[in-house]
Amino acid sequence: MTRAVIDTSVLIRYLIRPSAAIRELIEERWLGGDVRMVTAPELLDELVAVLARPRIRPFVAEEEGEALLGAVQALAECLPSLGAVPPICRDPDDDKFVACALAGNASHVVTTDADLLTLRELAGVRLCTPGSVSERPREHRRSGRQGLTTLLLNFITALPLAALHGRMGYFPPVIRLRPAADSLPPRYEVVEILNLQAVRDAARQERYK
């Protein structure tokens, strides 16, 4: 399994206008279990702050931002606070991503930021685009039910669910999240994993009785 730090810019682009590589990274590689996301409080704080920016809010529905944040909090491996981070990048705001990768024994920092990409590799950590980390032969990609999930963002999720069913022949499980009590900054916990395929199969049994 690939251990990777995913830059805030990649997560935000997933919500606004994801490329095919970003969609594959999030929906197939991370949520499918091939990539283990490594994060830290400093990275989560930045994601919260970016989602709250006035120039971002018109493009990201509040519930979609909360769902993505909740998924990261629930599914990613969160390290303790990074503390004082040494200067690494030409943009000091990017230092925390490399520091997180080094502290969390991650092999990749996945980003679209030129200031990070210019480093290429540092202390065994590869800094690469979503397309680079997603590149592998089609036959080696997961295609079964095992580990496949999807973010339940809003009602429009029905469209990709229908498309996934058409391509794979079954409905993927869906993670349902809720805000954790008395958590500041907000954190989310997994309430249940909805087995849509089991619901469908049970309904078909009732239909043919």
In the chain (209 residues long), the average pLDDT of successive 10-residue segments reads: 94 90 88 89 95 92 85 90 86 90 94 89 91 57 37 51 68 74 74 75 69
The pTM score is 0.66
Output the pLDDT for position 153: 46
CA distances 145 to 33, 90, 150, 170, 191, Å, are 11, 42, 12, 8, 20
Query: Looking at residue 193, what is its pLDDT?
Result: 76
Question: Nearest Cα to 65, choosing from 185, 194, 200, 208?
Answer: 185
Q: Distance between CA 177 and CA 151 in Å, rounded? A: 10
Q: Which domains does the chain have, with CATH numbers?
A: 2-207 (3.40.50.1010)
- Residue from 87, 90, 128, 93 nearest 107 by CA: 128
